[in-house]
Amino acid sequence: MARKLAYKEQRDDVCTMPYGINTPGAFAFIFGIIFPVYYKCMSENNGQDQQMCQERAWYIALGSNFITGVVILALCFF
């Protein structure tokens, strides 16, 4: 799909996601990892440092995405 679109529009910056967006996985990731980390941090700080809790949840999300990518890459050969 991306190759056809790139050729049609004479562009070289087109990409595609072969399996599309994993919506159920995204909801599980958000509600199972990111929200619990954020709300636990907010409850521990009595809601005083919202910026820190947002950054902590963001860092946890980055690490979780990286670990997920490593697992998917490792298992793609099986």
Residue 18, pLDDT score: 67
- Structural domain of 46: 22-75
- Please indicate, yes or no, if residue 1 is contained in any of the structural domains: no
Dihedral angle sign, alpha carbons of residues 14, 18, 24, 60: negative
- Please indicate, yes or no, if residue 8 is contained in any of the structural domains: no
- Please indicate, yes or no, if residue 49 is contained in any of the structural domains: yes
- Please indicate, yes or no, if residue 56 is contained in any of the structural domains: yes
Give the pLDDT of the chain (78 residues) as one tens digit per residue: 778 888 999 998 888 776 677 888 889 989 999 999 999 999 999 988 999 999 999 999 999 989 988 998 999 887
Residue 19, pLDDT score: 67
DSSP H or E run through 17 = none
- Please indicate, yes or no, if residue 11 is contained in any of the structural domains: no
CA separation for the pair 16, 34 (Å, rounded): 26
Q: How many domains does the chain have?
A: 1
